[in-house]
Structure 1
Amino acid sequence: MNPNVGKLDRGLRILIGLLLISQVFVGLHTPWGWLGVIPLATGLVGWCGLYTVLGIRTCPLNKKT
């Protein structure tokens, strides 16, 4: 798996994921907050399956010489 999520995108995904997960424990107390695991995981790994399907890439290509 080649990374396809850039630095800014990764940071936003991690932040949004943590905010959603925090809603399970503090705030709304709904199980819907566990959906935050998805953006958190894709942010930590740096790869998004949906981006691959749609052909989107937010990180720069590595140029090997």
Structure 2
Amino acid sequence: MALFLSLKKSILNLNLNMMKKNMGKTDRIVRIILAAIIGVLYFTNIITGTLGLVLLLASVIFIFTSVISFCPLYTIFGLNTCPIESKK
């Protein structure tokens, strides 16, 4: 039982360290605008079928990543659009 709790704590600490903000304000705004455009196009039946569903799913992911200011793909590719905070 103690091993399980230790493992759980390690995983939680790893997840918290991995999910540092890596998206700047401009990036978040662009993603939300794109998600809104895709949503409007989907619900007005301009984009339909499989492509419409894939784009709708992408827009949901865009909104989610914008809300939490973290993009897993940015971590994989080593990108960071979040401004550097000055140390005082």
- TM-score bracket for this pair, using the shorter chain length: 0.7 to 0.9
Percent same amino acid at aligned positions?
34
Query: Following the alignment from structure 1 to structure 2, what is the Cα–Cα distance between the partners of residues 21 and 13?
Result: 12
CA deviations on 1:1-53 (whole Å, 9 max, x unpaired) are 11100000000011101111222212414134412112121112110000000
Distance change (3 Å), C-alpha of 1:32 and 1:22: farther
Matched residue, 2:82: 59
- Is 1:36–2:59 an aligned residue pair? yes
Superposition TM-score, scaled by structure 2 size: 0.62
Q: List aligned pairs for 1:1-65, cutoff 5 A.
A: 1-30=19-48, 31-34=53-56, 35-62=58-85
Q: Give me the CA root mean square deviation.
A: 1.8
TM-score by length of 1: 0.80
Gaps of 5+ in 2: 1-18
Aligned residues: 65
Runs of 4+ in 1 over 6 A off after TM superposition: none
